[in-house]
Amino acid sequence: MDLRALWFMLLGVLLAGYAVLDGFDLGVGILHLGARDDRERRIFLNSIGPLWDGNEVWLVTFGGALFAAFPEAYATAFSAFYLAFMLLLFALIFRAVSLEFRGKRDSAAWRGFWDASFFGASLAAALLFGVAVGDSMLGIPIGADHEFAGTFFGLLRPYALLVGALNVSLLALHGSLYLQLKTEGELQERLRRWSWQAFGVFLTLYLATTLVTLARVPRALVNFERMPWLWAVVAASVLALANIPRSLHLRRPGWAFLSSAAAIASLVALFGAALYPNLIVSSLDPAWSLTVANAASSQKTLGIMALIAALGLPFVLSYTAVIYWVFRGKVELGKLSY
């Protein structure tokens, strides 16, 4: 297999891993202010307490792998989205420290501040990720020299904001399903109602986004004509999405959560399928787009990296499995909790 295509796919795997795993952390954050009292908020925080940090590593590794495999794309995208990335960094910083600091004082003002910061940071991160996906779909003004020639506010287009809102609703849904696995009784019932609401909002935005995408980004379908098997991914994503209300109705939150995880992973795959072989589409001239061909590292580096991934990923997956196994089950607040 072509190493460049392999790395495009591996980046997709890392991104999907991040979206599925940190996705529920961000979702819990988006729902955080809906919790009624301190006990419920602590349950929310402790449901992701041991896991968020490892989940964020998927993003860090995605960043490193993009840097190594497609340095041109890393350089162009990160400098193009400068302010957006800075906002994302502040969001991730505040998400991390809010979790850690909130429980360290008993004062209501102290906890209220970190609650608001945890919510705002999670919401901002989810929105920014969605906006970035939307902008990537539309393409951004990239010149012949591979440098960004637009402005920050030019990135906040209606379509990009629509995808941003879509992502917020999707992660809120994902987070509410995750929380049902971690809670019991009345709180769990309430979360189930939130899941229905989030699903309704998500479905509306999803249909709207799909229609706009089909109308405005015809390029997104090119690969589907060349590789008809990609329709199987579309089918998988629709089935996974449809299984969420079904499982909710049957009161099987485990299946609902797995379905939303599968839906997120398949949406990332569809995003990749719409982009390939481009990494960053130039809206000025398609010839100036950054592709797997003109943005990649040397074959030797891609080969070394593939070896590193082959050595490392089995370990990563086994650690992840061990940690999730150790922290399975409902949240119990104790001395060690946040």
Partner 1 sequence: MGLDVVTLSRLQFALTITFHYLFPPLAIGLGALLVFMEGAFHVTGDQDWERLARFWTKIFAVNFALGVASGIVMEFQFGTNWSSYARFVGDVFGSALAAEGIFAFFLESGFLAVLVFGWDRVSPRMHLLATVLVSLGSVFSAVWIVIANSWQQTPAGYALVSHGGVLRAEITDFWAVVFNPSSVQRLVHTLLGAYLVGGAFVASVSAYHVLKGRHAGLMRKSLGLSVLFAAAAALALPLSGDLQARVVARTQPAKLAAFEGLYRTTARAPLSLAGLPDDARQEVRFGVAVPGLLSLLVHHRWNASVTGLDAFKAEDRPPVLPCYLLYHAMIGAGMALAALFVLAAWRLRRGRLHEDRLLLWSLVWAVGPALAAGELGWCAAEVGRQPWIVYGLLRTSQAASRAVPPAHILASMALFAAVYALLGAVWVSVLDEKIRRGPDAEDEAKAGGWMDAAAERADPAGRSFTEPRQEA
Q: Which residues bind partner 1 (CB under 8 A)?
A: 49-51, 53-54, 56-57, 59-61, 63-72, 74-83, 85-86, 89-90, 92-93, 96-97, 99-101, 104-105, 146-149, 152, 297-298, 300-301, 304-305, 308-309, 312-313, 315-316, 319-320, 322-323, 326-327, 334-337
Q: CB of residue 62 vs partner 1: minimum separation in angstroms? A: 8
> Any idea what the Cα angle at residue 190 is, between residues 189 and 194, rounded to 5°?
120
Q: CB of residue 84 vs partner 1: minimum separation in angstroms? A: 10
- Based on CB atoms, which residue is closest to partner 1, 68 or 221? 68
**How far is the first Cα of the chain from the last one, in angstroms, to the nearest whole number?**
47
Q: How many CB atoms lie within 10 A of CB 277?
A: 16
- Based on CB atoms, which residue is closest to partner 1, 19 or 267? 19
Q: CB of residue 232 vs partner 1: minimum separation in angstroms? A: 29
CA separation, residue 146 to residues 134, 284, 289, 318 (Å): 20, 11, 8, 39
Among the listed residues 101, 127, 126, the one whose alpha carbon sits nearest the alpha carbon of residue 22: 126
- Based on CB atoms, which residue is closest to partner 1, 142 or 205? 142
List Cβ<8 Å contacts ≥24 apart for 112-118.
Answer: 115/32, 115/33, 115/41, 116/33, 118/29, 118/32, 118/45, 118/94
Q: CB of residue 247 vs partner 1: minimum separation in angstroms? A: 27
Q: What is the rounded radius of gyration, in angstroms, for the C-alpha atoms of the chain?
A: 20
- Based on CB atoms, which residue is closest to partner 1, 41 or 192? 41
> Any idea what the Cα angle at residue 126 is, between residues 248 and 314, rounded to 5°?
80
Among the listed residues 207, 211, 183, the one whose alpha carbon sits nearest the alpha carbon of residue 195: 183
- Based on CB atoms, which residue is closest to partner 1, 229 or 325? 325
Q: CB of residue 329 vs partner 1: minimum separation in angstroms? A: 10
- Based on CB atoms, which residue is closest to partner 1, 34 or 50? 50
Q: CB of residue 88 vs partner 1: minimum separation in angstroms? A: 8
